[in-house]
Structure 1
Amino acid sequence: MTPTFIDPAALAALYPILVDAPPPGWLDDVQRAIIDVPAGTVLFDEGRACAGFPMVLSGAVRVARGAPQGRAIELYRVSPGEICIVSASCLYGDAPLSAHGVAVEATRLLLLPGPVFMRWCAHEPFRHYVFAVFASRMADLIALAEAVAFQRLDQRLAAALLGRGGTLSLTHQQLADELGTVREMVTRLLKRFEQSGWVALGRERIELLDPIALRHLAAGAPPAM
C-alpha cells in the first residue's frame, strides 16, 4: 500500500454532504495519508475488527460474503462517492466485519478512523446521509436475497451480463464469484448461451450477440433453445 495525500476538494466533489452540511472539523480530519492499492488487495476481511470507514476516491471495492480467494457471493460494490454499509454497521455496533472487501481495480481511498467516523455521525446531516444509504443498500440486498432464493442460476447469469456494454472483459471465475457459485457452472451456462447464439466467448472476453434473448431469460421467460 502506498501512502499519499488527499485533496479535500476532490473528496467533497464526490461526497456532496461535505459541501452541503459538513461535519465540524472535517477538513482537519481528512488531512491525513490516504491509500493507493492495486487490484486484488483485500482491504478488510470477515470476522475481523473494522480498521476504519473507507471513502473511495477512484476505483471500486467489491464487498462479498465468503472466502476472499474462494467461493463467495457479491453483496454490492463501493464506487467513488458511495459508502460501505458493512464497515459502517461494524463501527456502529462495535462488532466484527460480516463481509470482506477487495479492490477490483487500482483504487484510491481515504480510511477514516473509527472514532472520527463516529464523531461525524454525531452531526445530524451526515448521520441522515449514512442512514439514507443504508436504506438504499438494504433494498438492494433484499432483491439479491430474492434472486438467490427464487431465481435459477441461468437467469441470474443472464442478468449479470446485461448493463455492462456489448463486450465484457470478465473471467468465468469473476462471474462465479459475483453470483456465489463455482466457475464450472458458469462455464457450462456460458457455453449453452454461446450455442444458442446469444454470446461469443473469448479469452477473458464475452461479447453479447443477442441481449434481447438474455433479457427475456433474466426476466424468467426464456425463448426456446
Structure 2
Amino acid sequence: MNRQEQALARLAERYPVMGALPRSAQQRLLETGHWARVPAGGLLFDDHQGCEGFPFVIEGSVRVVKSAPNGRELPLYRVAAGETCIISSSCLLGREPYNARGIAEADTVLMLLPKDEFDALLAEPAFRDFVFHLFADRIANLMQLVEEVAFHRLDQRLAALLLGKGRILHVTHQQLADELGSVREFVSRLLKGFAAQGLVKPSREQIEILDPAGLRRVASGSHDS
C-alpha cells in the first residue's frame, strides 16, 4: 500500500463517505488536502479569520466557542475524530470569515481540504449529502443549547451537567463555568448551595455526588414545587 492509499484508508476509517466517492474525486482530495498536527491548546481558527478549508479531524478533538469582549466564552460544540465543523462549512458556503474560535482540546491530527476542492466535491452526491446531514445534526444540537440557555436556570443546567460526569468529578469550578457559558463565581455559589443541601461534596478540583436523586430534582425544576 503506497502513501496515498494509506492516507485514503486513514480518512475512510474516520469518514466512511470517502469510500463512496469516485476514484477521481478521491485522488483530487488526496492531492490537494493539507495534513497538520496541532498541539493541545493550539488555535485552529479565530473570530474574523478567513476560512481556508474544510477540516477532517483524524485524531484528537476541537472545542468551538464563542468569545465575548470581556473574555467569557460560550461553548458551542466539540468536533471529535470522525466529525466535522458546521461553522467551517457555513463559512465556506457563505464565503464569510469565522465567527467563533476553534481550539484543540488534545493533540489533534487533521486534514484540511482547500475551499476550491470543497466546492468541487459538493458536486458529488455522497459528499453533498454528508455536508447537509452535518448541518441538520449540528443545528439540532445548537437549538438545544439555545433552549437551555434561554429557558433553563443556571442551577438546573449545573445539576444536569454534574449528573452527566459520574459520581466523582475531577474538574474545577472554572471548567464547569466554561461548559455552561457562565462565570466561576456563580458556579461556586451554586455548588456551595448544593453542598449545604447535601447534594454534593466539593473539594479542591474534585466534586463528589452525594445525592443523585436530589440533583435530578434540581435539574428537572421539581425542587421548586
TM-score (norm 1): 0.87
CA shift, 1:171, in A, is: 2.0
The residue aligned with 2:145 is 144
The worse-fitting range, judged by mean Cα deviation, of 126-135 and 109-118 is 109-118
Give 1 or 2: higher helix fraction: 2
1:8 aligns with 2:5: no
> d(CA) in 2 for partners of 1:144 and 1:159?
13
Total equivalences in the alignment: 219
* Cα offsets for 1:195-215 (capped at 9, x unmatched): 322223233323333222222
Q: Provide the C-alpha distance between the structure 1 equivalents of 2:70 and 2:13, rounded to a whole number of angstroms.
A: 34
Q: Deviations over 1:138-182 (max 9, x none)?
A: 111111111111110111111222323333332222221221111
Q: Which residue of 2 aligns with 1:100?
A: 101
Paired AA for residue 157 in structure 1: L
**Residue 126 and residue 171 in structure 1: after superposition, are their counterparts in 2 closer, same or farther (change >3 A)?**
same
Match of 1:189 in 2: 190
Deviations 1:105-144 (A, max 9, x none): 2222222222222222221111111111111111111111
After superposition, residues 72-221 of structure 1 pair within 5 angstroms as 72-221=73-222
Segment of structure 1 superposing worse, 83-92 or 200-209: 200-209
Alignment check: 8 A CA contact 2:34 2:113 kept: no
The one-letter code of the counterpart of 1:25 is A
Q: 1:210 to 1:56 in 2, by over 3 A?
A: farther
How far off is 1:69 after superposition? 9.2
Distance 1:22 1:199 in 2: 55
Distance 1:24 1:170 in 2: 48
| Matched-pair contact (CA < 8 Å) for 2:39–2:106 | yes
Q: CA deviation at 1:40?
A: 1.6
Q: Aligned partners of 1:53 and 1:23: how far apart in 2?
A: 20
CA distance in structure 2 between the partners assigned to 1:112 and 1:84 by the alignment = 12
Q: Which has the larger radius of gyration?
A: 2
| Alignment partner, residue 3 of structure 2 | none
Q: Which residue of 1 aligns with 2:26?
A: 26
CA RMSD of the aligned region, Å? 2.3
- Are the counterparts in 1 of residues 25 and 121 from structure 2 also a CA contact under 8 Å? no
CA displacement, residues 87-106 of structure 1 (integer Å, 9 cap, x when unaligned): 00000000011211111222
Identity of aligned residues (%): 50
Q: SS of the counterpart of 1:159?
A: helix
Q: Tell me the secondary structure at the aligned position of residue 156 of structure 1.
A: helix
Shift of 1:77: 0.7
Distance in 2, Cα, partners of 1:23 & 1:209: 56
Q: Deviations over 1:32-62 (max 9, x none)?
A: 5522222221211112111221211122111
CA contact (8 A) 2:53 2:113 kept: yes
Aligned-residue offset at 1:223: 7.4
Distance 2:22 2:16 in 1: 9
CA distance, structure 1, for counterparts of residue 40 and residue 94 of structure 2: 29
Stretches of structure 2 that go unaligned for 5 or more consecutive residues are: 1-5
